[in-house]
Amino acid sequence: NDAAPEQVLEGLDEEQRAAASTLTGPLCILAGAGTGKTRAITHRIAYGVRAGVYDPHRVLAVTFTARAAAEMRSRLAGLGAPGVQARTFHASALRQLQYFWPMTIGGQMPQLLDHKVRLLAEAAKRLRLTTDRASLRDYAAEVEWAKVSTLTPEGYLAQAEERDSPAGLDHRGFARLYQAYEDIKEDRGLMDFEDVLLFTAGMLESDERVAAQVRQQYRHFVVDEYQDVSPLQQRLLDLWLGGRQELCVVGDAAQTIYSFTGAVPDYLLSFRRRYPEAEVVKLIRDYRSTPEVVKLANVLLADRRPGGPTPWPTPLQLISQRERGPVPEITQHADDDAEAAWIAQKVAELADSGTPLSEIAVLYRTNGQSQAFEQALAAAGISYQLRGSERFFSRPEVREAIAALRTSSLVAEESAELVPEQVRGVLSSIGFTRQAPTSTGAVRERWESLAALVSLAEQLNTERESAFTMREFLAELEERSAAQHAPTVEGVTLASLHSAKGLEWEAVFLAGLCEGLMPISFAQSQRELDEERRLFYVGITRAKTHLFLSSAAARHPGGRGRRKSSRFLIPLRKELGLQAPAQKIAPGGGGLSVNAAARKRRAAVCAGCGTPLTVGTQIKRRRCEDCPPRYDEQLFEHLREWRRGYAKELEIPAFM
Ligand code: ATP
Ligand code: MG
């Protein structure tokens, strides 16, 4: 790349360019969704590297998910600045811990613990507490919160008044349990996820040599999605900086969606106070979405009633730069299956009119909702993926496939041509079928990965003038693996709203928009409802052109498990001039509303949807299998989702 470094600044608007060409910190980019924050910092790094101001190996860019980190690395490579480290906080910390462990502490590094709940069960037993699984999960979430808030058991107790203690324990009881958990963990030579950050921070704090070496290594720090940084992550960042100011942070307070894990937007909002010399750049032009989509996002934020405990940032009104597009659709369907079927049909229509499947996403509030969409898409013969293409080459099935291809290349002749049929043949030896399996879940995901390899072979074959060999194909795979350049997995993305942050698609379906799911049932306080609203905002702003907001009037056919459509849709319907949907009484109700019928049989109905519980369903928790889990279970699911992102990056098994 011999072109002038300034070339990297082309394709940025004036404010973005101002941010990207401010190569010394502190710098804060404060802007709404889709305004090009990530683009601006990526170009800033590339510009700094190409102008010779940054040594690429001395830049550390921290992003929120493994997927975002992979995306940034590939964009930087494309801009002529390879070699920059773009990682999550956890991945960065783990590397440092592994590197410095021998010289600071020595001996065996603790192993990552994958069952907090199991260890907590032991701790409870030690204290002779009677618990159940649901409470243990609640405790696990509380331990995690305490640790990312950098509170020891005593520290927790000191702050106790401000927070409800978890189910069944008073604050003192929980602090004792937390201490017992820590003791057992240490005895066993284990560390949990938060320990990775805590140990790294401790090492940097207590050992000058470590701090000096890390600070020597990294000179420039960039943090994306800074509104969701936890106190523990902030502490680590401060230690990395060691009083230096070479820091650029980027965030949008209206997109804070991880405060349940201890994230606090205050760090973003108080940046100017902490760094009085900081440059602050604001971006308001939205390059991602059409005016129609942007309008709904603005209306949603503005609809929040003032007041309440959360400092609600004055939302930056976004101004769309794009041409007008289709009007967003808000629809209500008879039941969950009907909603999913409608979505599958719409996806097929979009695909027919030229939208690639990889540019379509179906987003939902809880992972438990994915099943209905998986089934509907599979039934319609539409490919989908439950996760992104990040760490593609680390997936077990991809490794297995490459090993099989390698074996086959050993027996083939050096110059034997490759037609994709051969790849398909080799992969069929490890279970690949021509047709997508009708089953869903892991089996289907495995198939999608293998199908991506076959279509890569097809694509390379058509792109090349001359035929190529199996060895060349393997070399290509190796190169792509090193560059983290995954083949496009052609399929609709199914993802939770939390995991969609920072990403974008041509067409986005926000599904299951009913009370209890959006906002989620456990969000009761103003603080929690505000976070739900922000999460919905994140969802809307993922759409570039087509936006579909849907809900179902009942969970089951026949009107069982009636549900109300989400309160957040009210101002959006108004904006679009739509009537509120009629809340119909389902046929076959025998004159009784479903709720009244449910009340009559209170002893045996699901507490979530009112469906009668039959033998074999989860009577113990009074919930049928379809219903969103209880508060503690839900919270737990979010934590799990949050961890999964990191777990992928670290190549450790998903936790909990
Ligand atoms: P989010 O808050 O969702 O993370 P963001 O502010 O980080 O959004 P980006 O993802 O950087 O926004 O940009 C959104 C989209 O707009 C991307 O497709 C990006 O390429 C495009 N974009 C940003 N700035 C420009 C520009 N100046 N000209 C053209 N396209 C742009
Ligand atoms: Mg971004």
Tens digits of residue pLDDT in 396-442: 888 899 999 988 887 766 566 777 788 888 899 888 988 877 776 67
Distance 288 CA to ligand 1 centre (A): 6
Do residues 287 and 319 lie in contact, with contact meaning Cβ atoms separated by under 8 Å?
A: no
Residues 26 and 59 in one domain: yes
Residues 423 and 364 in one domain: no
Among residues 261, 283, 305, which one ends one of the domains? 283
| Nearest ligand to the C-alpha atom of residue 19 | 1
User: Could you tell me which residue, 574 or 458, shows the higher pLDDT?
Assistant: 574
Alpha carbon separation from 254 to 98, 310, 638 (Å, rounded): 36, 12, 19
pLDDT (tens digit per residue) in 596-642: 333 333 345 555 565 655 544 433 345 565 565 544 444 445 444 44
Residues 208 and 239 in one domain: yes
Measured at the alpha carbon of residue 290, what is the angle toward residues 287 and 291, in degrees to the nearest 5?
105
Contact residues of ligand 1, CB 6 A cut-off: 11-13, 16, 31, 33-39, 252, 255, 287-288, 502, 504, 541
Residues 143 and 225 in one domain: no
Distance 289 CA to ligand 1 centre (A): 9
Q: Which of 288, 301, 537 to mutate to test the pocket of ligand 1 (most atoms within 8 A of CB)?
A: 288
Does residue 457 sit within a domain?
A: yes
Does residue 419 sit within a domain?
A: yes
Question: Any residues with CB less than 8 A from the CB of 32 and at least 6 apart, and which?
Answer: 252, 254, 283, 284, 286, 315, 316, 318, 541
Say what the ipTM of the complex is.
Answer: 0.99
Q: What is the CATH number of the domain that holds 363?
A: 3.40.50.300
- The domain containing residue 162 runs over which residues? 114-191
Residues 86 and 202 in one domain: yes
pLDDT score for 308: 60
Distance from C-alpha of 30 to C-alpha of 648, rounded to nearest angstrom: 29
Does residue 538 sit within a domain?
A: yes
CA-nearest residue, atom 18 of ligand 1:
288
The answer to whether 38 is annotated as binding is yes
Residues 185 and 202 in one domain: no
Residues 561 and 503 in one domain: yes
Residues 89 and 143 in one domain: no
The answer to whether 33 is annotated as binding is yes
The answer to whether 123 is annotated as binding is no
Does residue 32 sit within a domain?
A: yes
Does residue 651 sit within a domain?
A: no
Structure letter (DSSP) for residue 510? E
The mean of the pLDDT values for the chain is 83
Q: Which of 38, 223, 321 to mutate to test the pocket of ligand 1 (most atoms within 8 A of CB)?
A: 38
Residue 594, pLDDT > 80, answer no
Distance from C-alpha of 265 to C-alpha of 252, rounded to nearest angstrom: 9
Q: What is the CATH number of the domain that holds 136?
A: 1.10.10
The atom number, within ligand 1, closest to the CA of 225 reads 4
Task: Verify cis geometry, omega within 30 degrees of 0, for the bond prior to 26.
Answer: yes
pLDDT (tens digit per residue) in 247-284: 999 999 889 888 877 777 788 888 989 999 999 999 98
Distance 469 CA to ligand 1 centre (A): 39
Model confidence at 327, pLDDT cuts 50, 70, 90, reads very high
Do residues 48 and 79 lie in contact, with contact meaning Cβ atoms separated by under 8 Å?
A: no
The number of folded domains in the chain is 4
CA-nearest residue, atom 30 of ligand 1:
287
Do residues 336 and 373 lie in contact, with contact meaning Cβ atoms separated by under 8 Å?
A: no
Residues 455 and 498 in one domain: no
| Nearest ligand to the C-alpha atom of residue 288 | 1
Query: Which residues on adjacent β-strands are paired with residue 454?
Result: none
Most confidently predicted of 73-82, 105-114, 473-482: 73-82
Task: Verify cis geometry, omega within 30 degrees of 0, for the bond prior to 265.
Answer: no
Among residues 428, 454, 482, which one ends one of the domains? 482
CA-nearest residue, atom 8 of ligand 1:
34
The atom number, within ligand 1, closest to the CA of 31 reads 6
Distance from C-alpha of 299 to C-alpha of 562, rounded to nearest angstrom: 27
Does residue 309 sit within a domain?
A: yes
User: What is the DSSP code string of 532-559?
Assistant: HHHHHHHHHTTEEEEEEEEEEEESSGGG
- Give 600: exposed, middle or buried? Use CB within 10 Å, 0-12, 13-18, 19+: exposed
pLDDT > 90 fraction of the chain, expressed in percent and rounded: 42
pLDDT (tens digit per residue) in 287-321: 999 999 999 999 999 888 776 655 566 666 789 99
Alpha carbon separation from 545 to 34, 255, 612 (Å, rounded): 12, 20, 42
Query: Which residues on adjacent β-strands are paired with residue 520?
Result: 516, 517
Distance 33 CA to ligand 2 centre (A): 7
Residues 270 and 325 in one domain: no
Do residues 250 and 224 lie in contact, with contact meaning Cβ atoms separated by under 8 Å?
A: yes
Does residue 656 sit within a domain?
A: no
Does residue 303 sit within a domain?
A: yes
Among residues 587, 618, 644, which one ends one of the domains? 587
Distance 539 CA to ligand 2 centre (A): 13
Residue 62, pLDDT > 50, answer yes
Of 86-95, 164-173, 426-435, 575-584, the poorest mean pLDDT is in: 575-584
* Angle formed by the axes of helices 631-650 and 89-104, nearest 10°: 60
Strands 279-283 and 285-286: unpaired
Q: Which of 249, 287, 534, 545 to mutate to test the pocket of ligand 1 (most atoms within 8 A of CB)?
A: 287
Residue 459, pLDDT > 60, answer yes
Residues 302 and 379 in one domain: yes
CA-nearest residue, atom 4 of ligand 1:
502
Residues 368 and 424 in one domain: no
